[in-house]
């Protein structure tokens, strides 16, 4: 997006400021520090964007966590954390931004997951949260259509990220082999899909879930 001329605001937790600041400097963007699980975060994010930039045209919800356990071993706190960060925070922040920070004709892109479409053993909480993102995306697309705002979601398959690097190696390899391409995807694959949805060329695309999964769900 920065290459296309957008000023990118990188949001990250205060304790993780380092990587966000490095990225912002590299692309000529800026940093906004907030913990999306904080009930006060939506208001502080909206105020900062309004005061510093006059508003926002594009919102990409890409914060997420995994707290993997089988359902029988799932503690309530693990369930709640995945639902809160992956789903509830998306709704809270979007609702606040729609009150006057997100401009008409804007774009909202949510990050779902193939797990939210097909499920995944040991990821009941994660899959439930990402399935919720699918439903939220479709609902919001209808709600804001009269303002010319589009709302879509990306559903990545197995992507080689810091998050997936924490998964045991055997499970990681299984994730790669689920793809028809026989390999894990790259963050750039997801980034290019997000970028397209934020361009004028995608003005007629809304309420859609785009799978970036290397064919892991061909025909689904």
pLDDT, average across residues 169-187: 82
Catalogue all structural domains in the chain, each as residue range(s) with its CATH number.
Answer: 34-212 (3.40.50.720)
The Cβ of residue 190 has, within 10 Å, a number of other Cβ atoms equal to: 20
Q: Are strands 209-212 and 150-156 parallel, antiparallel or unpaired?
A: parallel
The answer, yes or no, to whether residue 137 has pLDDT greater than 70, is: yes
CB 178 within 8 A of CB 158: yes
| Termini Cα distance of the chain | 30
Any catalytic annotation for residue 126? yes
The Cβ of residue 61 has, within 10 Å, a number of other Cβ atoms equal to: 23
**Per-residue pLDDT, 219:** 46
Q: What's the CA gap between 57 and 200, in Å, rounded?
A: 12
Q: How confident is the model at residue 218 (pLDDT cuts 50, 70, 90)?
A: low
Q: Considering the candidates 126, 158, 190, 216, report the single residue annotated as catalytic.
A: 126
Q: How confident is the model at residue 166 (pLDDT cuts 50, 70, 90)?
A: confident
The answer, yes or no, to whether residue 143 has pLDDT greater than 90, is: yes
Q: How much is the pTM?
A: 0.88
The answer, yes or no, to whether residue 118 has pLDDT greater than 90, is: no
pLDDT, average across residues 117-140: 90
């Amino acid at each position: 997006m920065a290459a296309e001329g957008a000023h990118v605001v990188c949001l990250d937790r205060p304790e993780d400021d380092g990587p966000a600041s490095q990225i912002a400097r590299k692309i000529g963007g800026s940093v906004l520090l907030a913990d999306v699980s904080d009930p006060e975060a939506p208001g502080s994010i909206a105020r900062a964007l309004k005061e510093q930039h006059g508003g926002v045209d594009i919102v990409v919800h890409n914060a997420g966590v995994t707290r993997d356990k089988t359902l029988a071993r799932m503690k309530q706190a693990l369930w709640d954390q995945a639902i809160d960060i992956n789903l509830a925070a998306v709704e809270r922040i979007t609702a606040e931004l729609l009150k006057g920070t997100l401009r008409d004709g804007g774009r909202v892109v949510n990050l779902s997951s193939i797990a939210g479409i097909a499920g995944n053993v040991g990821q009941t909480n994660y899959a439930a949260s990402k399935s919720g993102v699918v439903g939220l995306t479709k609902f919001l697309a209808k709600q804001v259509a009269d303002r010319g705002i589009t709302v879509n979601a990306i559903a990545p398959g197995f992507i080689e990220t810091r998050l997936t690097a924490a998964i045991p190696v055997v499970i990681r390899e299984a994730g790669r082999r689920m793809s028809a391409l026989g390999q894990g995807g790259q963050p750039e694959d997801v980034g290019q899909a997000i970028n397209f949805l934020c361009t004028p060329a995608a003005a007629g695309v809304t309420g859609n879930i785009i799978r970036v999964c290397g064919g892991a769900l061909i025909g689904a």
